[in-house]
Amino acid sequence: MEQDLDKVILSKEQISERVRELGEIINQDYSDKQLFVIGILRGAAVFMADLIRQIDLPMELDFMAVSSYGISTKSSGVVRIVKDLDSTITDKDVLIVEDIVDSGLTLKYIVENLKSRKPASIRLCTLLDKPSRRVADVEVQYNGFIIPDEFVVGYGLDYGEKYRNLPYIGVLKPEVYSK
């Protein structure tokens, strides 16, 4: 798998340190609340698992799975819910955990959908942010790293369901995804 990478942009140690910092900030911001954490499958699973271990607060967990990419490297802009929440979020303080915010279209759809369920609050936490690709207006309150417009994999992020298990974030060589 490593031979498919152009370079590593975030090491395992850099990610670990930033996840710890995000956990500390979230602990402070939600110190008087019960947190309801929603992980967006599948990409955010690795990040969410590490993040919640840094949060020392009462919390509930649930997951959503949405599809907007298929097997492409770019979002189609059409979002569909593949797996919805099993729990109600009415009057709860929701933290959505996402792996990467790119165009923002998927996250905007998720936030609008969840707002209709009347939570007390909704905030967003992402490991990676590509603001140069933003099309939809989404406000991310907890941001791990701002990255350039490169196709990245690892630490939960994939291409064709591969590379998720890499412990770092790397840039995939264009010849791998342009076949």
Question: pLDDT (tens digit, 9 = 90+) per residue, 101-160?
Answer: 998 998 999 999 999 999 999 999 999 999 998 999 999 999 999 999 999 999 999 999
Task: Quickly list H helices, 101-157.
Answer: 105-115
Q: Give the DSSP H/E element, type plus range, for residue 177.
A: helix 174-177
**Are the C-beta atoms of 161 and 144 separated by less than 8 Å?**
no
Domain that residue 153 falls in:
2-177
Which domain CATH number covers 24? 3.40.50.2020
pLDDT over 80 (residue 68): no
Residues tagged active-site? 102
The answer to whether the pTM exceeds 0.85 is yes
Domain count, the chain: 1
